Amino acid sequence: SPWAQEPQRHALLKPASKRPFNAEPPIGMLAENFLTPNELFYVRNHLPVPVITEAEYELEIETGCAKPPLTLTLAGIRALPKHSVTAAIMCGGNRRSEMTKFKAVKGLSWGAGAVGNAKWSGARLCDVLAQQGVKPDETRHVIFEGADLDPTSHPYGASIPLAKALDPRGDVLLAYEMNDEPLSRDHGYPIRVIVPGTVGARNVKWLTRIVVADQESDSHWQQNDYKGFSPSTDWDTVDFSKSDAIQAMPVTSAICTPQPGSRVRVDEDKDGGHVTVRGYAWSGGGRKIVRVDLTNDEGQSWHVAELEQEDQPDGRHYGWSLWTARLPVTEAQRKGGDLEIWAKAVDSAYNVQPEKFEHIWNLRGVLANAYHKVRVKLV
Ligand code: MTE
Ligand code: MO
């Protein structure tokens, strides 16, 4: 069985599916650490985890340039200049379970935990490609293939624009470390590509082949999945060839604590009762989070959260931001006993989350970035 050699996983990762293994950590724990602990980082596998030994591992690079294809070993990649970047990786289907409540979508029912933030280290892809003589070209693509094979022996694959791969500020890495540890098998041992600011699906794990090409990857996941559509497009009308593959992700945020349905204590202060709310926010394309707004009265009053984030320039701000807010609670809200808290984030382009899922609904349930709304009980 191809499933006989799956790795051990942390007991707190709750599977959305077991074969292939897909799981997110308890969302209540996500905002506890700026760098998500490796063993609690969500796992999204489409296929069985391949078995790769360091001795056998090879990465093939075909650039179509005058130079012959290059084969790199793990030692060869480790010998290149080492570069680190803090980047969140988020699945295109993160928060799908909220969108499907509006109207059913097809896909794994992710909560808000199909995201994690880590320090990734490895060689820069731009250095390797430049060394091979690859010249900037706005029309070309870089295709990545994994060692994980589907039942017809086709590998998992994805592609990104060549411009992103060659941009030194793009920070695309051939990564061998996650938070200063060697990559675990679930996260792509021994090498995965990290494409900061870009949807999880393009961050190909167990990377075995890189091809510079005139076309995007022809893989299922590039062509017929991970694309957005109009709310009026359904399975009988959808034409995947008509939509662009998702690359940079839109701005989003989520409330990690309190959890929906939980009983929340009101803190007594000299200026009245308050509840403390904590969560994450992130935007794709290196756009920094500039503000997170919270309301507990359906938007009549907003409260600006305090941000915890790395000091990185805008356009290269790939890590997530954690945030904390203290929300005042009125006497009437205390008497009523119920509170609904909403969060929305704003990025450096002043993009803001849409209020409702209704107008961004799409049949695959991707890009689910409406306000995060959490209802709690006050005690
Ligand atoms: N790479 C390979 N080879 N196979 C996969 O199934 N899944 C992709 C991406 N890279 C995948 C892959 C998807 S959809 C996501 S969201 C991220 O890996 C998840 O990365 P993680 O499991 O390290 O969190
Ligand atoms: Mo994903």
Question: What integer pLDDT is reported at residue 249 of this predicted model?
Answer: 98
Question: What integer pLDDT is reported at residue 214 of this predicted model?
Answer: 97
Question: What integer pLDDT is reported at residue 122 of this predicted model?
Answer: 98
CATH superfamily of 14-242: Oxidoreductase, molybdopterin-binding domain (3.90.420.10)
Q: Which ligand is the nearest neighbour of the Cα of 46? A: 1
Question: What integer pLDDT is reported at residue 67 of this predicted model?
Answer: 82
Could you tell me where in the chain the CATH 2.60.40.650 domains are found? 252-378
ipTM confidence: 1.00
Distance 350 CA to ligand 2 centre (A): 26
CA distances, 60 to each of 1, 150, 210 (Å): 27, 20, 6
Distance 64 CA to ligand 2 centre (A): 29
Q: Which ligand is the nearest neighbour of the Cα of 221? A: 1
Ligand 1 binding pocket (C-beta < 6 A) is 41-47, 89, 91, 146, 148, 156, 187, 200-201, 203-206
Could you tell me where in the chain the CATH 3.90.420.10 domains are found? 14-242
Whether pTM exceeds 0.80: yes
Quick: pLDDT tens for 324-338.
999 999 999 999 999
Q: Outline where 18-61 has alpha helix (H).
A: 27-30
Regions of the chain short of the pLDDT cut 70: none
Question: What integer pLDDT is reported at residue 134 of this predicted model?
Answer: 96
Quick: pLDDT tens for 195-226.
999 999 999 999 999 999 999 999 999 999 99
Q: Which ligand is the nearest neighbour of the Cα of 50? A: 1
What CATH code is assigned to 252-378?
A: 2.60.40.650
Question: 39, 160, 178, 203: which to mutate for ligand 1, most atoms within 8 A of CB?
Answer: 203
Q: Which region, left, alpha or beta, applies to residue 95 given φ > 0 means left and ψ of -120 to 50 means alpha?
A: left
Distance 110 CA to ligand 2 centre (A): 10
Counting atoms of ligand 1 from 1, which one is nearest the CA of 206? 3
Distance 85 CA to ligand 2 centre (A): 20
Question: What integer pLDDT is reported at residue 321 of this predicted model?
Answer: 99
Question: What integer pLDDT is reported at residue 64 of this predicted model?
Answer: 86
| Rounded (to 5) percent helix, strand, coil in the chain | 15, 35, 50
Distance 206 CA to ligand 1 centre (A): 9
CA dist 1 and 368 (Å) reads: 35
Question: 44, 143, 199: which to mutate for ligand 1, most atoms within 8 A of CB?
Answer: 44
